Structure 1
Amino acid sequence: MPGIDECLLEAMRLPGARGAALVDWTSGLALGAVGEFPGGDHEAAAAEAAEVARLTAEQRTFAPDGYGRHDSPDGHDGHDGHDGQAGGGGVADPPVEDLIISNRDSYHVLRFVPTSFDSSVFLHVWLARPDGNLALARIRLGEMAGRLVLG
């Protein structure tokens, strides 16, 4: 199972990859970063991407149907409010899988990483638009997020 550095280096092998980071969306800190970033500052890019990720992850509009719903007679559906698993003992699943932001010359793909603790990290890959392949990036980032070992 790859750690942060191995995962980021693998992300940089995606077609069109310009930069990759693992970011904590609650604090805005980059836990690791490789390559280049918009504006030349990976810490600023991490903080700004974290703001977008946090706002998206916290909105019920973007959650799957039934996520965090309180259906039982006691007002609790077995979800602890932080993950998509019943009972809170499983892997914490953020309500959103990924975000794709596009502009005239690039794509930003933010892939939320399920963890065994309160999940608050995502992979951020910056792709050059002429060379980037969004479908491949989504597939590979999903695989990487599933294999990533944090700790």
Structure 2
Amino acid sequence: MTSIEGAVGAALVDYTSGMALGTLGGGKDLDLTVAAAGNTDVIRAKFRTMEMLGLQDEIEDILITLGGQYHLIRLLKGRGNGGLFLYVVLDKSKSNLAMARHQLKRIESDLDL
């Protein structure tokens, strides 16, 4: 995760429980365990909305853009991951969003879960 330019913090999260299984970075202004639980609600809401709309598709990632940050949520696929997602916070002024999404996809493919 440290290879993503502008990364402020990252977490591997179980969205069935909302618990962060591992974190990197963060700090007093970015509590990754609180963010993990909150973003679990975001994912659940999106799944409910897709179900109500009858969408038969998968979520690749969710982007939340703030004034000074990007928050990327990438749902992990493959080998029975059991509902995990990667959560990365980027400093908007120091990151390249397209490259960060590309690197996050690469990291996903390299993970052995």
Common topology (TM > 0.5)? yes
**Match in the other structure for 2:23:** 33
Partners of 1:24 and 1:37 lie apart in 2 by 21
1:121 offset after TM fit, Å?
Answer: 0.7
Superposition TM-score, scaled by structure 2 size: 0.86
Spell out, residue by residue over 1:35-90, the C-alpha distance to the aligned partner (whole angstroms, 9 max, x if none).
015744221111011111222234327x9x6x2xxxxxxxxxxxxxxxx7xxxxxx
How many residues align structurally? 113
Q: Which has the higher strand share?
A: 2
Superposition TM-score, scaled by structure 1 size: 0.66
What value does the CA root-mean-square deviation take over the aligned residues?
2.4
Bigger Cα Rg: 1
**Structure 2 portions without partners, runs of 5+:** none
Partners of 1:119 and 1:37 lie apart in 2 by 28
The residue correspondences of 1:37-56 to structure 2 (distance < 5 A) are: 39-56=29-46
Identity across the alignment (%): 35
Higher relative contact order (CA 8 A, sep 6+): 2
Spell out, residue by residue over 1:72-123, the C-alpha distance to the aligned partner (whole angstroms, 9 max, x if none).
xxxxxxxxxxxx7xxxxxxxxxx10001101101000111100322641110
**Match in the other structure for 1:131:** 94
Partners of 1:107 and 1:40 lie apart in 2 by 13
